[in-house]
């Protein structure tokens, strides 16, 4: 595919327009683009594990693990390496292909690094893809993790630069962009997205998408979280997000970052099957699988399996080669000729 088809010059204004398109037009465009790059019936599944829970010094207003809020999340020590590897084995047996380890840290301490690196090596040795989310990384720690074999690093921008200060004061937007740059320069794949439903405006959602799409390379993985409202956090009484706006944002992420995996991330426990189906139609092709996110519930694996079976979704690795140019699909006059993914190229089965 040709480099010009992947854009890094999105403006907030045009993204706001994209988000406001008639719903059917927006979803048609998103699904059409999705089919150029991915098997439309395949969803990648990752399992999450909290390797260090609670007592985080940061003040992220959405987070049950911040030490500043009384949420009932108990402080726990970092898990033993062996225990993490046992959890990874179980995740693999349950059908996950990526294991994501999260820690309630501002950034990892030097003293924790040997254990963290041993976890990466041990999980990778099981044949799983590895992902970590440990807070901010400097160049040195990013390169140590990359050398240990870490495939992905998750670090979210969370929201627009303008709304960010209403949500987090203990680290800046620039700090987050620096971490993403260190991860990218160390050669790891970037996983970065945000949260919807924190009281942000439509323009803030456009602003978040523009920040992600205009990074030097699109994140390989873009988690779109719906706020999980946890009692005790400043956002516990936030108004419910309109589900259609959530689906619209997934569709816009798919259109703006055509080759990225868009992850329907936190918040699925609150979503109907129909809503999740619409998110997959809008271009989401990754989920967290297993009954717990970090500290909050996620749908049980058998519930997800039942939904996948109803939707004819399989969970194999995806095809990412573009068969044709994207330009036509990025205009409202999109032709119908790119609609059909050639399923014969995929051997995926449930």
Looking at the annotation, which residues are catalytic? 56, 60, 63, 100, 131, 191, 263
How far apart, in whole angstroms, are the C-alpha atoms of residue 39 and residue 197?
29
Kindly identify the residues of this chain, within the stretch 256-285, that bind ligand DTB according to CB under 6 A. 265-266
Smallest distance from ligand SF4 to CB 60, Å = 3
Residue 158: contacted member of ligand SF4, ligand DTB, ligand SAM, none (CB under 5 to 8 Å, by partner type): ligand SAM
How far apart, in whole angstroms, are the C-alpha atoms of residue 324 and residue 36?
7
66 interacts with ligand SF4 by CB under 6 A: yes
Among 27, 49, 60, 282, binds ligand SF4 (CB under 6 A): 60
Residue 240 exposure: Cα atoms within 13 Å on the Cβ side = 5
Smallest distance from ligand DTB to CB 327, Å = 31
Among 40, 54, 102, 219, binds ligand SAM (CB under 6 A): 102
Kindly identify the residues of this chain, within the stretch 127-166, that bind ligand DTB according to CB under 6 A. 133, 154, 156
CA angle 263, 266, 271 (to 5 degrees): 95
Smallest distance from ligand SAM to CB 266, Å = 4
Q: Compute the Cα dihedral for 262, 265, 269, 270 and give only its sign.
A: negative
* Cβ distance to ligand SF4 smaller for residue 12 or 134: 134
Smallest distance from ligand SAM to CB 258, Å = 23
DSSP secondary structure code for residue 315 in this structure: -
3 state SS of 81: helix
How far apart, in whole angstroms, are the C-alpha atoms of residue 141 and residue 2?
34
How many other C-beta atoms lie within 10 A of the C-beta of residue 315?
19
130 beta partners: 99
Give first-to-last CA distance, the chain, whole Å: 30
Tokens of 42: 């395949």
Check if the beta carbon of residue 153 is closer than 8 Å to that of residue 131. Answer: yes
* Cβ distance to ligand SF4 smaller for residue 28 or 62: 62
What's the chain's length in residues? 350
Among 230, 241, 284, 287, binds ligand SAM (CB under 6 A): 230
> Environment class of residue 90 by beta-carbon count within 10 Å: exposed (0-12), middle (13-18) or buried (19+)?
middle
How far apart, in whole angstroms, are the C-alpha atoms of residue 340 and residue 7?
23
- Number of residues forming the site for ligand DTB (CB under 6 A): 16
Choose the binding region for ligand SF4 from 62-70, 233-241, 242-250, 342-350 (rule: CB under 6 A).
62-70
44 interacts with ligand DTB by CB under 6 A: no
Tokens of 157: 């921008």
Tokens of 96: 């996950």
63 interacts with ligand SF4 by CB under 6 A: yes
Among 135, 193, 207, 258, binds ligand SF4 (CB under 6 A): 135
E runs forming strands in the chain = 44-52, 98-103, 129-133, 152-154, 189-191, 194-196, 221-226, 261-264, 284-288
* Cβ distance to ligand SAM smaller for residue 43 or 63: 63
* Cβ distance to ligand DTB smaller for residue 64 or 122: 64
Kindly identify the residues of this chain, within the stretch 144-173, that bind ligand SAM according to CB under 6 A. 155-156, 158
Residue ranges that bind ligand SAM, judged by CB under 6 A: 56, 62-63, 102, 104-105, 133, 135, 155-156, 158, 195, 225, 227-228, 230, 266, 294
Residue ranges that bind ligand SF4, judged by CB under 6 A: 56, 58, 60, 63, 65-66, 104, 106, 135
Residue ranges that bind ligand DTB, judged by CB under 6 A: 48, 64, 102, 133, 154, 156, 193, 223, 225, 228, 265-266, 293-296
């Amino acid at each position: 595919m040709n480099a010009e088809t992947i854009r890094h010059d999105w403006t907030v204004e045009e993204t706001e327009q994209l988000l406001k398109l008639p719903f059917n037009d927006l979803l048609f465009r998103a699904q059409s683009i999705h089919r150029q790059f991915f098997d439309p019936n395949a969803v990648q599944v990752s399992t999450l594990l909290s390797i260090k829970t609670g007592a985080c010094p940061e003040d992220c207003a959405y987070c049950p693990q911040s030490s500043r809020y009384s949420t009932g999340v108990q402080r726990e020590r970092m898990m033993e390496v062996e225990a993490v590897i046992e959890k990874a084995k179980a995740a693999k047996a349950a059908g996950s292909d990526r294991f994501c380890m999260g820690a309630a840290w501002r950034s990892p301490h030097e003293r924790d690094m040997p254990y963290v690196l041993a976890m990466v090596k041990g999980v990778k040795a099981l044949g799983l893809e590895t992902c970590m989310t440990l807070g901010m990384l400097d160049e040195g720690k990013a390169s140590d993790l990359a050398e240990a074999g870490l495939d992905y690093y998750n670090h979210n921008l969370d929201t627009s630069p303008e709304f960010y200060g209403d949500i987090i004061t203990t680290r800046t937007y620039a700090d987050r962009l620096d971490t993403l740059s260190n991860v990218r320069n160390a050669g790891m794949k970037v996983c970065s997205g945000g949260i919807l439903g924190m009281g942000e405006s439509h323009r803030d959602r456009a602003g978040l998408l523009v920040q992600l799409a205009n990074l030097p390379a699109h994140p390989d993985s873009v988690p779109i979280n719906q706020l999980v409202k946890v009692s005790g956090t400043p956002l516990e009484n936030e108004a419910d997000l309109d589900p259609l706006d959530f689906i619209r944002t997934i569709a816009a992420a798919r259109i703006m970052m055509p080759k990225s995996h868009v992850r329907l991330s936190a918040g699925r426990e609150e979503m109907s099957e129909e809503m999740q189906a619409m998110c997959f139609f809008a271009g989401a092709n990754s989920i967290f699988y297993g009954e717990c996110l970090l500290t909050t519930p996620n749908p049980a694996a058998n519930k997800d399996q039942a939904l996948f079976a109803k939707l004819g979704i399989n969970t194999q690795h995806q095809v990412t080669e573009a068969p044709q140019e994207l330009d036509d699909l990025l205009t409202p006059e999109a032709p119908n000729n790119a609609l059909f993914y050639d399923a014969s190229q995929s051997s995926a089965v449930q």
